[in-house]
Amino acid sequence: MTALVAAGAGALIGLGLYVVVMAWQGQLRIVRFDFRRIRKELVSALSGVGVSLLVWALTGWSLVSVVVGTATSMAASAAMRQRHRRDDRTVVDAIAVWTEQLRDMLAGSNGLEQTIAATATHAPAPLRSALERLVVSMSYSPLPVALRRFSQDVNHPTADFVVAALSTAATRQVRELGALLGHLAACAREESRMYTRIWVGRSRTRSAVKIISSVVVLFVVGLALVSPDYLEPYRATEGQLVLTVVVLVFCGALFLMQRMSAVSAPDRFVGRVSEVGP
């Protein structure tokens, strides 16, 4: 018992020294619990458990019910993330409108900081809160630092181009800033139209995933309720293994089809956490 207490005390002392050294070097990262995310994951897990119990009650298949419940939990978690994911089309459109506002107001020979502050009140809704924080940040920080914080708030590669142009204009003499902002606004408009074309083109894939999933689930449930003798061979161990492989292949195909409907954004180059101090 004494040796166990001594080992525990030594481990606590070592952990404390590690925390002190990492904090001194500025490499300590504090983990913050996202209770909203924990609640979503809990709901997904409970939905998977519910579906697993339902499948087991209807069919008596232990192995298949566990696999189906796990797949349901993963699908519910992915659906929640997709539901709460922001629409990049509205963000890009807002960046284009705000960039055009900057271009038009700079044509009136206003200063850069005054122009940014003037556009904050009339900016599109997706950028308004970030621009308000930018205006407040400009009052106590240099403009390039405030712009990098603004790019962190927006968190989109298109905004990084605008921030890079404004930061360069704030630190160096830049000619034709209005023309550059106009070109960036036109590029943002084209990007928004690209997102729209991709969304429309891949809607067929999303519809196929929903239709196939619904038909298969209804067909299996109907067989279990109407003709349970037809599914009797699957109650054996070999049948359970074969059916598990089929379910896993089917879930993998649905997962790949769902990934085909996602749009991957390019890497950002402004506003990274390592570049901006507290």
For 32-77, how does the pLDDT look when each residue is reduced to its tens digit (9 = 90+)? 555 666 776 677 777 777 877 877 777 677 776 777 777 777 777 7
pLDDT at 36 (0 to 100): 67
pLDDT at 82 (0 to 100): 63
Mean pLDDT over the full length of the chain: 76
pLDDT at 277 (0 to 100): 39
For 123-169, how does the pLDDT look when each residue is reduced to its tens digit (9 = 90+)? 888 888 888 999 888 888 888 888 888 888 888 888 888 888 888 88
pLDDT at 12 (0 to 100): 66
Across the range 257-262, mean pLDDT stands at 66
pLDDT at 157 (0 to 100): 85
pLDDT at 141 (0 to 100): 85
pLDDT at 274 (0 to 100): 41
DSSP per-residue codes, the chain:
-HHHHHHHHHHHHHHHHHHHHHHHTT--------HHHHHHHHHHHHHHHHHHHHHHHHH--HHHHHHHHHHHHHHHHHHHHHHTS--HHHHHHHHHHHHHHHHHHHTTT--HHHHHHHHHTTS-HHHHHHHHHHHHHHTTS-HHHHHHHHHHHH--HHHHHHHHHHHHHHHS--S-HHHHHHHHHHHHHHHHHHHHHHHHHHHHHHHHHHHHHHHHHHHHHHHHHH-GGGGGGGGSHHHHHHHHHHHHHHHHHHHHHHHHT--PPPPP-SS-GGGS--
Residue 171 clears pLDDT 60, i.e. is over it: yes
For 205-248, how does the pLDDT look when each residue is reduced to its tens digit (9 = 90+)? 777 777 887 887 788 778 777 877 777 777 777 877 887 888 78
pLDDT at 262 (0 to 100): 62
pLDDT at 278 (0 to 100): 39
